[in-house]
Amino acid sequence: MAVIEIRNLSKHFDRVHAVDGVDLAIPDGELAVILGPSGCGKTTLMRMIAGLEKPTSGTISIDGVDVTELPPRVRPIAMVFQSYALYPHMTVFNNIAFPLKAHGNLSKAVIKEKVEWAASILGIEKLLERKPRQLSGGERQRVALGRALVKEPKILLLDEPLSNLDAKLRASARDELQRFQRRLGITTIFVTHDQIEALGMGDRIIVMSQGKVMQIGTPQEVYHKSANTFVATFLGSPGMNLIKQEKYLLGFRPEQFVPQETAERKDDLQLFPFTVKRVEYLGAEQQVYGTVNGMNEENRIISSLSSETNVKIEPGQTYTFAVHKDQLRYFDPDSGLLVEPGQMGDLK
């Protein structure tokens, strides 16, 4: 069953609709990622789940209990802040023990035991006597996680917890965080603007834009069956190519747009005459910028090719590029929504 259920949740700051009518249910043990560009309302949504922000309308229930009106301290949640928000005047031990002391009914021995348990899970037993300022970014993140864990929350909220780490550390932290979540089986909501984190870690991804949920689905679903043009172009780097045709928008991903001779299958190809304007070499891959002939000049198209490819691509030349027909996506140009090719008849 769903641990957390959100119904028609909205938050308005003056005239800005930060969160606008969100419905969401997250099942037990899932790692759900809320993904969106900055300002899409993802952090506000998480803060409302935590109880730090009061919704303008709508309800949030956790484990079947309506918590909409309850302050954070009585919700069965824990949160790791983007800044980690470690208390600078307390040692690591006291930081982790802080949630346990909130109610004042745990003995010192119990507190010590729980803090040591959390510290051992995260491998920070040796840091317990230090102050936060003596810790590295990765260590701080672990302490913040430890502080969240000792509460034994039903839901763990993570607000961009990796954004303060440097790029190299981020990859290992991602992996570690995911394994850790699997092991404890704790329902986790992870907010990020980084699609690599989202696609790599999430059981399901909730894509948000302008306060609304655009799509909820597994990483494969949101990437390959993007529900609308926003999701299609936001995901992937670069995002999906869109070509305006008579009745619909035709979409295909840059890595599926390849020279005809390198296409894996030779049948069922949709061919495009592709005039190359610029080639950008990015190490393992290269990105080819150009336009598709016969189409509007505005249709700038990108192809991502392996640098290893033996087809030579030169600017100024026109090549025949191909996409497999089953990789083509069709969007309604007015609503931006995905439509099935079979429905094309209806559109005409």
Contact positions vs another protein (CB under 8 A): 50-52, 63-67, 69-74, 77-79, 81-83, 85, 87-89, 98-99, 102-103, 147, 151
Q: Nearest distance from residue 74's CB to another protein, in Å?
A: 8
Taken in order 21, 27, 28, 31, is the CA torsion positive or negative?
negative
- The minimum distance between CB 99 and another protein, in angstroms, equals 4
61 or 327: whose CB is closer to another protein? 61
Query: b vs e for 274-298, b when ≥16 Cβ sit within 10 Å of the residue's Cβ?
Result: bebeeeeeeeebbbbbbbbeeeeee
> At residue 183, what is the residue type?
R
Is 83 or 317 the residue whose CB approaches another protein more closely?
83
Shorter beta-carbon distance to another protein: residue 90 or 171: 90
Render 176-218 in DSSP notation, one character per residue. Answer: HHHHHHHHHT-EEEEEES-HHHHHHH-SEEEEEETTEEEEEE-
Residue 144 CB, nearest distance to another protein (Å)? 8
Nearer to another protein, 47 or 329 (CB): 47
- Nearest distance in Å: CB 78, another protein: 6
Ramachandran category for residue 8: left, alpha or beta (phi over 0 → left; psi -120 to 50 → alpha): left
Find the angle CA(232)-CA(284)-CA(171) to the nearest 5 degrees: 70
Smallest separation, CB 133 to another protein (Å): 13
Q: For residues 5 and 24, what is the distance between their CA atoms, to the nearest angstrom?
A: 6
Nearer residue to another protein within complex by CB, 143 or 305: 143
Between 13 and 179, name the residue whose CB sits nearer to another protein.
13
How many Å apart are CA 247 and CA 270, to the nearest integer? 17
- Within 13 A of 82's CA, how many CA atoms are on the CB side? 10
- The helix/strand/coil state of 101 is helix
Q: Rank residues 99 and 236 by Cβ distance to another protein and give the closer one.
A: 99
**Minimum distance, C-beta of residue 52 to another protein, in the bound complex (Å):** 5
Closest contact distance (angstroms) between CB of 61 and another protein is: 9
Q: How far is CA 99 from the centre of its chain?
A: 28
Q: What share of the chain is helix, strand, coil (3-state, %, to 5)?
A: 30, 35, 35
Name which of 81 and 180 has its Cβ closer to another protein. Answer: 81
| Contact yes or no for 303/273 (Cβ under 8 A) | no
Token pair for 19: 């969160």
Nearest residue to 18 (alpha-carbon basis) of 66, 54, 71: 54
Least CB distance from residue 104 to another protein, whole Å?
Answer: 10
Nearer to another protein, 82 or 260 (CB): 82
CB of 130 to another protein, least distance (A): 18
**CB burial of residue 124 (10 Å; 0-12, 13-18, 19+):** buried
